[in-house]
């Protein structure tokens, strides 16, 4: 009798979970509607974090320490926005000076002490603690009330949200694999295309929900159209998931293994995507050719490209590779900005595996972001690909409230190119020769 009761209780709990899953997650994702639960949940988290910030500030004041906002480093180097020409040529009169070496020494020390590039490959620092242990494990000792809230938050995230999110993720992946396999059997035509688009958008919406995502889309009238190229700043693989939940794209991406590779291979069963090896230069020429052929057909899906080529921590937009802007066609810029207070969406692929990244996201409070569809842009007459890429990059950075950096995101994995060093050497050589101290400049 007791065993029957236990079995009945288990079935009852399982039934409740299935009903909640279907009503709160599956049906809203299929019809792409919001029940308002995520908005209410985020509002509650905001109130809790505001209370926690006040608790921390009061604790800091009691300890006679600087205010909370001063605990976060704002930079130890006071940089002067002046060029090499002004700093070197401006303080002397037309002759070579051994003191010029001090300029390069100073710049080198500044770069070692605090460079503006490498820290873009680490998680963004928070102004206040968001009650996640991996962001600051010591602040929970400020008061006993804060400790209780912190422990209660751990129980909610790991014991309630994590199991639900894992189940929803597994279901969305299995649904994607199964549905794309079925749709693949249909003959090519409008029906197959429509079914493929609906399946991918539904699975993407489920994926966003499984990661606790709350996305605000702006200016939907500017959404990318067929035969165009959608370019966006890149923070993590979540960028693709978020954009795919609001529209369908043909992806241009490097090949991946593991879980991410399974998802990409499933998508390729029904939609044309271009995958390539990062290290293979020949493939890059092939990719450019395929993109040009793809956008020539207005009936095909827009191509989604991340010109930075790697993930940046959402504080800046780094150099856009010019290849995407050489093929012609209309460019549809998209700015994606995450709110780090609820969870870190940045994927440091050099430090964490994809599974670790997904686990960190699932055990965060939520993933909240804004997506802005910007007006389409085309290359102006006489404009080269580099200037066009910089113009698009500046528009995206301005809309997302991020800084613009000229550096290549490839510095995450590679050393500085020799061409950058040579450029600085040529600038100095030109300064010296123009001042007449080195004759006609033949030594350069």
Residue 3 corresponds to which tokens in the numbers above?
A: 């065993």
In 190-349, where do the E strands start and end?
Answer: 213-218, 229-232, 250-254, 274-276, 303-305, 316-317, 331-339
Q: Is the pLDDT of residue 277 over 70?
A: no
Q: How confident is the model at residue 328 (pLDDT cuts 50, 70, 90)?
A: confident
Domain presence at residue 167: yes
* The pairing of beta strand 331-339 with beta strand 367-373: antiparallel
When divided into structural domains, the chain yields a total of 1
Domain presence at residue 23: no
Q: What is the pLDDT of residues 410-440, one digit of tens each?
A: 776 666 666 666 676 677 677 666 655 444 4
Q: Domain containing 234: what range?
A: 139-418
The confidence score (pLDDT) of residue 331 equals 94
Contact 346, 235 (CB under 8 A): yes
Q: Is the pLDDT of residue 64 over 70?
A: no
Q: How far, in Å, CA of 384 to CA of 402, rounded? A: 24
More confident residue, 351 or 106: 351
Q: What is the pTM of this model?
A: 0.79
More confident residue, 130 or 10: 130
The confidence score (pLDDT) of residue 66 equals 44
Q: How confident is the model at residue 11 (pLDDT cuts 50, 70, 90)?
A: confident
Domain presence at residue 313: yes
More confident residue, 39 or 267: 39
Sheet hosting strand 331-339, strand order edge to edge: 213-218, 367-373, 331-339, 229-232, 303-305, 250-254, 274-276
Beta bridge partners of 303: 229, 250
Q: How far, in Å, CA of 13 to CA of 302, rounded? A: 44
Q: What is the pLDDT of residues 289-316, one digit of tens each?
A: 778 888 888 778 899 999 988 889 899 9
Q: Where are the alpha helices (DSSP H) in 237-384?
A: 238-244, 258-267, 281-295, 354-362
Domain presence at residue 183: yes
Domain presence at residue 95: no
Question: What is the arithmetic mean of pLDDT over 51-68?
Answer: 66
Burial level of 13, CB count in 10 A (0-12/13-18/19+)?
A: exposed
Work out the mean pLDDT of the chain and round it to a whole number: 78
Domain presence at residue 170: yes
Domain presence at residue 74: no
Residue 262 corresponds to which tokens in the numbers above?
A: 């399974």
Domain presence at residue 317: yes
Q: How confident is the model at residue 406 (pLDDT cuts 50, 70, 90)?
A: confident
Q: What is the pLDDT of residues 212-252, one digit of tens each?
A: 889 999 999 999 988 889 999 999 989 999 999 998 898 87
């Amino acid at each position: 009798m007791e065993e029957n009761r236990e079995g009945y209780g288990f079935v009852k709990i399982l039934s409740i979970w299935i009903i909640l899953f279907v009503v709160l997650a599956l049906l809203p994702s299929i019809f792409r509607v919001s029940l308002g639960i995520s908005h209410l949940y985020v509002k509650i988290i905001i109130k809790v974090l505001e209370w926690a910030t006040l608790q921390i500030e009061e604790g800091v004041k009691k300890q006679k320490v600087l205010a909370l906002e001063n605990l976060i480093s704002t930079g130890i180097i006071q940089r002067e926005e002046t060029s090499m020409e002004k700093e070197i040529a401006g303080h002397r009169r037309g002759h070579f000076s051994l003191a010029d070496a001090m300029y390069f020494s100073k710049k080198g020390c500044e770069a070692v002490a605090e460079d503006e590039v490498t820290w873009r490959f680490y998680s963004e620092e928070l102004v206040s603690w968001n009650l996640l242990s991996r962001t600051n494990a010591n602040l929970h000792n400020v008061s006993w009330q804060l400790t209780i809230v912190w422990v209660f938050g751990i129980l909610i995230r790991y014991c309630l949200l994590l199991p639900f999110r894992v189940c929803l993720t597994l279901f969305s992946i299995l649904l994607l694999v199964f549905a794309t396999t079925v749709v693949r059997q249909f003959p090519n035509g409008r029906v197959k295309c429509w079914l493929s688009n609906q399946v991918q958008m539904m699975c993407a919406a489920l994926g966003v929900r499984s990661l606790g995502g709350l996305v605000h889309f702006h200016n939907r009238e500017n959404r990318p159209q067929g035969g165009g190229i959608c370019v966006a700043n890149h923070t993590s693989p979540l960028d693709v998931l978020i954009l795919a939940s609001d529209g369908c794209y043909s992806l241009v991406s490097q090949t991946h293994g593991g879980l991410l590779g399974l998802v990409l291979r499933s998508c390729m069963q029904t939609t044309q995507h271009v995958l390539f090896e990062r290290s293979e230069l020949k493939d890059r020429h092939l990719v450019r050719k395929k993109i040009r052929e793809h956008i020539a057909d207005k009936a095909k899906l827009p191509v989604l490209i991340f010109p930075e080529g790697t993930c940046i921590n959402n504080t800046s937009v780094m150099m856009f590779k010019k290849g995407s802007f050489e093929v012609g066609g209309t460019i549809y810029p998209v700015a994606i900005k995450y709110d780090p207070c609820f969870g870190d969406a940045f994927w440091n692929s050099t430090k964490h595996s994809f599974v670790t990244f997904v686990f960190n996201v699932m055990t965060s409070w939520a993933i909240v972001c804004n997506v802005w569809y910007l007006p389409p842009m085309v290359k102006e007459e006489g404009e080269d690909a580099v200037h066009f890429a910089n113009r698009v990059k500046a528009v995206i950075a301005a809309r997302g409230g991020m800084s613009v950096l000229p550096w290549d995101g490839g510095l995450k994995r590679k050393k500085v190119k020799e061409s950058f060093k040579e450029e600085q050497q040529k600038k100095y050589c030109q300064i010296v020769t123009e001042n007449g101290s080195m004759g006609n400049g033949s030594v350069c």
